[in-house]
Structure 1
Amino acid sequence: MLQIPQTGIYLSKLFPLRLCFDYYQYICRYLLSIMEVSCPYFDPEFENLNEKIYGPRVTVDNESCDKCTVVKVDSLNKQGLLLEVVQVLSDMDLVISKSYISSDAEWFMDVFHVKDQRGNKVADKKVISYIQQAIGAKRELQNSGEMKKCYDNAVRTESCSDCTAIEMIGTNRPGLFSEISAVLAEQKCNVVEAHAWSHNACLACVAYVSDESTSASIDDPNRLATIEDQLSTILRPTTIADHNCMGAKTHFLGCDSSMSRMERRLHQLMFANHDFDGPPGQVSTSFSSINMDHVEEGRRTVVSIDRCAEKGYSVVTVECMDRPKLMFDTVCTLTDMQYVIFHASIASHGPFSYQEYYIRHKDGYTLDTEDERLQVIKCLEAAIERRVCEGVRLELCAENSVGLLPNVTRILREYGLTVARADIATDGEKIKNVFYIQDTSGNKVDMRLVELMERELQPLAFQVKNELLLPPNDTSMERESFSFVGLLRSQLERFSHSFIPI
């Protein structure tokens, strides 16, 4: 008799050798399976246990401040958390008038004073619920449909959940956006949504398109290659000096992103194309010499960088005209440049905004060289100015129809106008086109031309707004001293009751 080791099983010598060997293998596999079952079990969710216990916790307070809604967030800190929070608030089109941030000692504490676009508190329970769920339980919701149910305007419409995304970057010139629209129409692409920015002779565009006949995404590789090739042809630089042009790229977009993520991608495209290296000789205007009767003269952004040797931070100070999504643009840029924001304070006074960031590179070092400081200054200035458009805002609402976009942009081009920025969105059967237009010769837009265009584009719903209109003179507005340390110290005691002790 033969005994299989450690099993107590005996086999007759009469068994064929091959059969004995097979049976031996079977017993071994069985014993291994028993050993696997008896091993300790680790819950895969254990890794995220700290995060589940300690954050993020979100409080939306409408009582402590008379004019604003106060959003408080406290959590274990992680890289990119601040940007995630600001993205959620940007998705809701909320205006951040004041903010205090501290993320030292591996703990994140943040307070935002926010208003809606009309300057009122956030009273809508759907909006409040979305903020709490999107920040406080982001991972659980980001792959489900719950975020769409919380608030429809916070995420992309259903019609754009199954599209092909086309990213474009190139050297801007008069009529370029019109040429892009014409190519897409030629290729039987229906533009479901598109956003385009231009800055320092650079144009970046992200468009979401579907097939004209089927309204489905375009996934034929040959067709996508043709679209890319034609768009790259018109985006190709016209001079040898414009060697940084990246052309066009297409890719399939599943159920993905909110407006702020698309805007972050526009920032990244512009940054990759070095739009921050603008024409030489540009000089920023100091805000100390600005009179409210001549605010237009001080529209330039002022960025300075100092060193906080005591704590080992670089201190970035930004002074500029206030506007919606300003904080998103600055935080997005610093994050994408691999800088970590440890402390920050943001405040708006009248039409001006003052921001102060205490940062280090993710590797731990500060901005010690002049070249590093200059690079950050230029990139922040560019990020803030990309969204600002000095021109006339045209808004057209109509039934969604193929050919509308190229027709409208062609008419603009025929009237000697060029698109400096565009936001196109589809909502069911309706499409909303918002264009910021400028005169191709650099002169002020002749409003008589706009009136002629309005007649030609009838019966489209047509609204015109001059974006250069400035806020009313506020004689009570004075520039206040701005220091992160003072602001944070005065507020921490007030909000400390809502924070979890470390």
Structure 2
Amino acid sequence: MEDFKEGSTNQRRSRSGEIASADSGKNIDKVVIDNAVCATTTLVKVDSERKDGILLEVVQVLTELDLSIQKAYISSDGRWFMGVFHVTDRRGCKIADEAVILHIEKSLGAADETVGSSRGVDDATVLELSGTDRPGLLSDVFAVLADLHCLVVKTKVWTHNGRVAALVSVEEEGSGDRIEDLNKVRLIETRLRNVVRGATASVSFSSSSFRGTDTDRHLHRMMSAIRDYERLAVVSTASDSSVSIQNWEERAYSIVNVHCSDRPKLLFDTVCALTDMNYVIFHGTINTIGERAYQEFFIRHADGGTISSEAEKQRVIHCLQSAIERRAPAGLRLELISADPHRRLLLEATRTFRENGLSVTMAEVSGKDDTEANVFYVTDASGSPADPKTIGAIIDRIGAGNLRVSEDRVERTGPMQSGSLGVESSAAGAGLFYLGGLVKRNLYNLGLIRSCS
């Protein structure tokens, strides 16, 4: 391993040479973190031998650090992967925290066994629950677990298109041990299958723990498995996302364009969706302008082919739209902020939501000993905004010191950069005007050629 080169705070930092990770076998040859080139973003440049999943691996590391990817240029034709990512922190500023910079370097380059292994819930049983959503479902799940003397450690719940996917980490009440009694496991499964109605309901146990974006990727897969990309008649199909696909026969690529509202973790979700559908991203350009995000990917199927039928095209479009929409919460954000090691307040809050006719559209329950708030997004039973009087009555019942209304905490203090992409080219024909030069533009932006003309 070559020495780590370090200059002043705003100068280029790089880690070069072959660097292997002991836990994943990855081999990223060069990572450069640069605060000098761009006035408003930190550049993270990655050069590596091309391998399956390398783009998702890089995006996952940046996403887990709560960084926003404002721009990116990706090229991986041939045997080499090259990517440039313009990132900011959650306030929209360049990365100034030395610990974050070191974590990026270690996660992408160094063989440090502590990276990625310090997260999660040790020795907990993780319950996977998916099926048809309905008002009061989360309250009923928690009530069943409490009745069976299972203590909820962590929970993450997504809903979309009338479906629900949840990961619930539980332990034996009192002892804190994993649930290993097979008779109790069967009883939990039976009781919860009665709670989650519908032919798609499924319950399974896993010994894996909550691990950052690993949890999110698993929720994506759970949602796809219950086909949430198929619209239910009772669910509105309104969406501000636009996905278009066209084939570039000359270069044997399918070109995917995504236009939608920008939000945290958006790139992770779209790359995750394409990867899990067995498509390989060879080139890509990512840009954000104001509150809008624009993503363009040049893809092939893992077998080397392009998207070959209208049915396949529509499936990819619907799956990408679903991946975008799943994490975009609907409703009012409520935070349960009191320490609650025995989960009594959690049970009372979710029961009160149910009794007042509220639906939980997304939820994240932090560790029972954590100081972070437990977050719930709620609507009325029809999916419309909840009545303020109802919310007020719920807060009075739970206690204003325990439950509060909170806006999404997406802070932006730094300036947003406008990009230079042809962002209005969502139509299939218009896109081809500039698509032929994307490879050259990527190489130019990566600093590998002097001109993209």
Q: Which digits, 9 at most, give the CA deviation of each residue in 1:174-221, with x for residues without a partner? A: 111111111111111111111000001000001111111111211111
Contact 2:90-2:410 at 8 Å conserved across structures: no
Superposed, 1:117-196 pairs within 5 Å as 117-137=90-110, 140-141=111-112, 144-147=113-116, 155-156=119-120, 160-196=121-157
TM-score when scaled to structure 1?
0.77
Aligned to 2:299: 359
Q: Distance in 2 between matches of 1:369 and 1:490?
A: 29
1:214 aligns to what SS in structure 2?
coil
Contact 2:155-2:366 at 8 Å conserved across structures: yes
Matched residue type, 2:76: S
1:279 aligns to what SS in structure 2?
coil
Aligned to 1:202: 163
Distance change >3 Å, CA 491–CA 107, structure 1 → 2:
closer
1:145 aligns to what SS in structure 2?
coil
Aligned to 2:53: 80
Matched residue type, 2:224: F
Matched residue type, 1:145: T
Are residue 345 (structure 1) and residue 345 (structure 2) matched? no
Percent identity between the two aligned chains? 39
- Structure 1 residue 479 displacement after superposition: 9.2
Q: Which digits, 9 at most, give the CA deviation of each residue in 1:379-435, with x for residues without a partner? A: 111111111122100011111232222211001111221101001111635463100
- Structure 1 residue 497 displacement after superposition: 6.7
1:249 is aligned, of 187, 191, 204, to 204
Matched residue type, 2:83: D
Aligned to 1:15: none
Distance change >3 Å, CA 302–CA 284, structure 1 → 2:
farther
Distance change >3 Å, CA 53–CA 364, structure 1 → 2:
closer
Contact 1:400-1:431 at 8 Å conserved across structures: no
Q: Distance in 2 between matches of 1:450 and 1:75?
A: 51
TM-score when scaled to structure 2?
0.85
Aligned to 1:32: none
Are residue 368 (structure 1) and residue 323 (structure 2) matched? no
Contact 1:349-1:479 at 8 Å conserved across structures: no
Distance change >3 Å, CA 429–CA 362, structure 1 → 2:
closer
Q: Distance in 1 between matches of 2:310 and 2:411?
A: 36
Aligned to 1:492: 443
Aligned to 2:388: 447
Q: Distance in 2 between matches of 1:148 and 1:122?
A: 23
Contact 1:390-1:467 at 8 Å conserved across structures: no
Q: Over aligned residue pairs, what C-alpha RMSD do you find?
A: 3.1
1:379 is aligned, of 302, 306, 319, to 319
Contact 1:394-1:462 at 8 Å conserved across structures: yes
Are residue 260 (structure 1) and residue 213 (structure 2) matched? yes
Matched residue type, 1:250: F
Are residue 411 (structure 1) and residue 352 (structure 2) matched? yes
2:85 aligns to what SS in structure 1?
strand
Contact 1:344-1:484 at 8 Å conserved across structures: no
Aligned to 2:4: none
Report the structure number with the largest CA radius of gyration.
Answer: 1
Contact 2:47-2:80 at 8 Å conserved across structures: yes
Aligned to 2:79: 106
From the two aligned structures, give the one with the greater helix fraction: 1
Are residue 279 (structure 1) and residue 252 (structure 2) matched? no
Distance change >3 Å, CA 69–CA 348, structure 1 → 2:
same
- Structure 1 residue 462 displacement after superposition: 3.1
Contact 1:57-1:74 at 8 Å conserved across structures: yes
1:399 aligns to what SS in structure 2?
coil
Q: Distance in 2 between matches of 1:468 and 1:374?
A: 34
Aligned residue pairs total: 417
- Structure 1 residue 148 displacement after superposition: 5.8
Contact 1:100-1:344 at 8 Å conserved across structures: yes
Aligned to 2:375: 434
Superposed, 1:193-342 pairs within 5 Å as 193-237=154-198, 243=199, 245-253=200-208, 256-279=209-232, 299-342=239-282
Contact 1:91-1:258 at 8 Å conserved across structures: no
1:496 aligns to what SS in structure 2?
coil
Matched residue type, 2:217: R
Aligned to 1:91: 64
Distance change >3 Å, CA 322–CA 80, structure 1 → 2:
same
- Structure 1 residue 118 displacement after superposition: 1.0
- Which shifted more, 409-418 or 262-271? 409-418
Distance change >3 Å, CA 468–CA 91, structure 1 → 2:
closer
Q: Which digits, 9 at most, give the CA deviation of each residue in 1:321-363, with x for residues without a partner? A: 1111011110001000111000111101111111111101101
Contact 2:91-2:410 at 8 Å conserved across structures: no
Q: Which digits, 9 at most, give the CA deviation of each residue in 1:441-462, with x for residues without a partner? A: 3332112221221121126443
Q: Which digits, 9 at most, give the CA deviation of each residue in 1:155-178, with x for residues without a partner? A: 33xxx1210010000101111111
Q: Which runs of 5+ in 2 are unaligned?
A: 1-17, 424-433
Contact 1:425-1:433 at 8 Å conserved across structures: yes
- Which shifted more, 440-449 or 118-127? 440-449
Matched residue type, 1:271: S
2:406 aligns to what SS in structure 1?
strand
Matched residue type, 1:378: H
- Which shifted more, 61-70 or 424-433? 424-433
Q: Distance in 2 between matches of 1:134 and 1:468?
A: 26
